Amino acid sequence: MTEVTLRPALDPAVISQRRQQLLRDLPKERLAWMLQKMCEIRYFEEKAEDLYARGLVHGTMHLSIGQEASSVGSIAALRPDDLIIHHHRGHGHTIAKGADLKLMMAEFLGKECGYCRGRGGSMHIADIPGGNLGATGVVGSGIPTAVGIALALQMRRSPQVLLAFFGDGAINLGEFHEALNMAAIWKLPVVFICENNQYGMSGPAKTMCAVQPLSVRAIAYNIPGQTVDGNDVLAVYQVTQAAVERARRGEGPAFIENYTYRWRGHSKSDRNVYRTQAEIDEWKQRCPIARFKQALLEAQVLTSAEVDAIDAQAKEAIERAAEEALACPEPSPENLEAEVYAP
Amino acid sequence: MSEADVRELTYLEAIREALTQEMRRDPNVFLLGEDIGVYGGAFGVTRGMLEEFGPERVRDTPISEAAIAGAATGAALMGMRPVMEIMFMDFITIAMNQLVNQAAKIRFMFGGKASIPMVIRTPAGSGTGAAAQHCQSLEAWFINVPGIKVVAPATPYDAKGLLITAIRDNNPVLFMEHKLLYRTKGPVPEELYSIPLGQAVVRREGRDVTVLAYSVMVPRALEAAEQLSREGIELEVVDLRSLKPLDQATIVASVSKTGRVLIVHEAPRTGGFGGELAAVIAESEAFDYLDAPIRRLAGRDIPIPYNRTLERAAVPQVEDIVAAARALAQEGR
C-alpha cells in the first residue's frame, strides 16, 4: 500500500523563517498597502453594521471582521490581472482586489451606481474589469464555476491565475469534490482557498468535517494542501504566493486552509448561541490587524505615526464612500425583464 | 439551391454537423461531457469529433455533472462558448445548482455586466425502455427560471439551425434532444444557417383543431393529422421549436383561426408546460374565438415505467392524439 502524506505548498518551518525576511524584502509600499486594505475592510464592515443598525440597509450582510488577513494576504500574492471568485462573506476579497469603495458601498445600499446597479447587493458584488468575477450566495457554488474560469485560462494559454475562495462550510458539498477532482486531473491554474472561520452558520468545522485539518482533503486530489495561520497576513501571503506561482507554471491547483475566526455572527439574525463569549474574546486577542501593525513597528518598516496615518486614511475613505453612496439614486423597477438576457 | 440538392441527414447527424461547423468557425466553441470523446457520446452524437478537434475541445469529463455545468458556466463567463452534454436529461438534476443559481443568475445579479454564452445539450424523453431515471422531460423546471432559454427541435433541419443559433446566443440555452428522433431523417443544407429562437412553425395547415406540439410530439401530431384528414377532420399542427422565448403570435393566430386547441407534450401533465400554454391562450384575444375548452394531452402523472406496454401508455401516442383531437373537433358542435 502506498503511503500518502500531505504535500504542503510551503514547508511550515520556511514560513516562520521567511516572515522576518519578508518584512525586510517586500517594498515598504506593498506592506503599507496590505495594512491599508486590512483597515479599509475593517472600517467598511463596521460602517456596514452602523448603516444596518440605522435602518438604511434592506437585506442581510455577512461580515468578515477578524478575517482580514485571509483575504488581503491571499490577494496580495496575485498580479493585478489575476482573478478571484468568492462568496457571500466577500467584502474583504472585493476590497483587497482593488474595488472602488464608493461603488461597493453603493451596491451594499442597493443603489443604481453600485457595482451591480443594486441588483446583487452585499452577497453578489462583482467587479469584472477588476478581475473580481463575483461572489456567490449559495455556499460552495463558486467552486465548480472556478473550474470553468481556470479552464478558459488554460485553453487560452493565459498566464493568469484564479483564486477561488470559500468557507469551511462549503467543503462538505458534493460540488467541492467534483470540482477539486476535475481541476486536479486537468492541472488547472486555480488555487482553492478555504477560509476556515470555524463555523458554517452554527455548525463547527471541528464536528462537521470528518478529517482535520481540512487541508488533508488535498491528498484525495493529489494536490498540495496546507493549513496556515489565517490571522497572519504574511504567512497567508507566502503560502498563497507559492501556490499561485506553481499554478502559473502549469503545475496545477493547490488547496490552502486559512485558519481564522469570524468575530461577528453568521448574519444579522445570529444570537451566537453555538459558541461562548470567552471564545470570541480569546480570538479578538489575535486580531490580524493589531498583529500586523505590531510586526511592522517591531521590524521598523513603518513608524507609529505612519501606521496611525494609514489607519486614519482608511477610516476617512470609508466615511467618504458611505456619504457618496448614500447620495446615489435608487434604481428604477421599470423594464427589468430586458436585463435578464444578454443581447 | 433546388430541393433535389438538399441532402438528407439524420437528426443526430444534423446536430453533429452544427457542432462541427461551429467549432471550425469559432475557436471559442468547445464540447465537454461524459464519454463524448473516444466513445463518441452515449448516443454517438459526437462520434469522430475527437479525431478532428482533439481532446482539449472535445473534452471527456469525469462523471461529475455539477462540475461539468460549473466548468461550462465559468468558461462562458470568460467568453468561451462551451457546449456541455448531459448524457440523459435526468442527470441534469445533479447540475441544477450551477445551472439555476449560477448560469441563469450571473448576468442579472451582476447588474448586466457579464454574460454566460453556453449550451446545455441533453437527450430527453421515453420510448427506449430505459425506465424512470433515463426518460424524463424536465423542460418545465427550466422554463420557470429567468435567465435560461429552452429549445426542443423536432426535425433534423431545425436541430442544426437551432443549435447553431443556441451556440451563438449570449445566454445559457437548454437544447433538448429526443432519443427517438436521433435516427429520423430529413433535408439538411450543408451550409451554416441559423433559425431564430422564439419562432414557431406551422407544420401543417388545417381548419378544425390547432395542435401545439414540440419535440417528438410533432411527428406524432403530423401522423395523427394524416389519419384524421381521411375522416375529414383537418388539424393545424404548430411546432413550437423554442419554448422560451415562446412565439405567442403564431399560437394566438392559429387558435383564433381554428377555435379549438389541443396541447400535446410528453412531460407529466401536472405543472407541465401545457398549463402555461393554456394560460397564454386564455389571456389572449384567441380566447374570444374558442369554440371548445382548451384541451391538454400530456404524459400521465407517473414515473416512466420499464415494460414496453406500460411505457407506451405513459405518454401520448399517435392514437391518443387522434382520439383527443377527434373528440375536440366534435365538442360543442
Q: Return d(Cα B268, Cα B150) in angstroms, integer.
A: 17
CATH number, residue A158? 3.40.50.970
Q: Count A/B contacts: CB-CB distance under 8 Å.
A: 144
Give residue A253's pLDDT. Answer: 98
Q: Which tens digits make up the pLDDT trace of B311-325?
A: 999 999 999 999 999
| Average of per-residue pLDDT values in chain B | 97
Phi-psi region of A46 (alpha: psi -120 to 50; beta: other; left: phi over 0): alpha
The H-assigned helical ranges of chain B are 11-25, 49-57, 65-77, 96, 106-109, 139-143, 156-168, 217-229, 248-258, 273-282, 308-314, 318-330
| Nearest in space to B124 (alpha carbons), one of B96, B152, B94 | B152
| Nearest CB to A339; choose among B76, B79, B108 | B108
Structural domain containing residue A162? 62-84+138-270+280-304
Show the domains of chain B with their CATH numbers. 7-187 (3.40.50.970), 201-330 (3.40.50.920)
Q: Which tens digits make up the pLDDT trace of A112-156?
A: 999 999 999 999 999 999 999 999 999 999 999 999 999 999 999
Q: C-alpha grid cell for residue B316?
A: 401520448
Give residue A48's pLDDT. Answer: 96
pLDDT higher than 80, residue A339: yes
> B74 and A117 in contact by Cβ < 8 A?
no
> B67 and A175 in contact by Cβ < 8 A?
yes
| pTM check: above 0.90 | yes
The whole-number average pLDDT for the span A35-41 is: 98
Q: Return d(Cα B183, Cα B12) in angstroms, integer.
A: 7
Residue A333 lies inside a defined structural domain of this protein? no
B134 has catalytic annotation: yes
A340 to A236, A332, B66, B76, B323: CA distances (angstroms): 39, 15, 23, 16, 41
Residue A259 lies inside a defined structural domain of this protein? yes
Residue A162 lies inside a defined structural domain of this protein? yes
Q: How does residue A308 score in pLDDT terms, banded at 50, 70 and 90?
A: very high
> B70 and A175 in contact by Cβ < 8 A?
yes
Give the DSSP letter of residue A199: B
Residue written as grid cell 485560462: A153
Secondary element (H or E) of residue A234: helix A233-248
Q: Which tens digits make up the pLDDT trace of A4-28?
A: 677 887 887 888 888 889 999 999 9
Optimal mutation site among B96, B113, B149, interface A, most CBs of chain A within 10 A: B113
- Overall number of domains in chain A: 1
Residue A160 lies inside a defined structural domain of this protein? yes
Q: How does residue A268 score in pLDDT terms, banded at 50, 70 and 90?
A: confident
> B71 and A147 in contact by Cβ < 8 A?
yes
- Whether the CB-CB separation of B169 and B197 falls below 8 Å is answered with yes
Q: Return d(Cα A124, Cα A86) in angstroms, integer.
A: 9
B105 to A120, B79, B108, B172: CA distances (angstroms): 10, 16, 6, 10
The whole-number average pLDDT for the span A31-56 is: 97
Residue A145 lies inside a defined structural domain of this protein? yes
> B109 and A175 in contact by Cβ < 8 A?
no
pLDDT higher than 80, residue A289: yes
Q: What percent of chain B has pLDDT over 70?
A: 98
Lowest mean pLDDT among A17-21, A296-300, B212-216, B321-325: A17-21
Give residue A3's pLDDT. Answer: 64
- Whether the CB-CB separation of B88 and B58 falls below 8 Å is answered with no
For B177, list phi and psi in degrees, rounded to 5: -100, 165
Q: C-alpha grid cell for residue B295?
A: 384541451
The whole-number average pLDDT for the span A83-110 is: 97
pLDDT higher than 60, residue B1: no
At residue B83, the 3 state secondary structure works out as strand
Optimal mutation site among A124, A145, A155, A160, interface B, most CBs of chain B within 10 A: A145
Residue A265 lies inside a defined structural domain of this protein? yes
pLDDT higher than 80, residue B88: yes
| Average of per-residue pLDDT values in chain A | 95
Query: What is the complex's ipTM, to 2 decimals?
Result: 0.96
Enumerate the residues of chain A whose CB falls inside 8 A of the CB of residue B70. Answer: 143-148, 175, 178-179
Residue A237 lies inside a defined structural domain of this protein? yes
- Whether the CB-CB separation of B66 and B37 falls below 8 Å is answered with no
- Whether the CB-CB separation of B17 and B9 falls below 8 Å is answered with yes
Lowest mean pLDDT among A264-273, B18-27, B80-89, B150-159: A264-273
Residue A227 lies inside a defined structural domain of this protein? yes
Enumerate the residues of chain A whose CB falls inside 8 A of the CB of residue B84. Answer: none
| Nearest in space to B176 (alpha carbons), one of B307, B301, B266 | B266
B191 has catalytic annotation: no
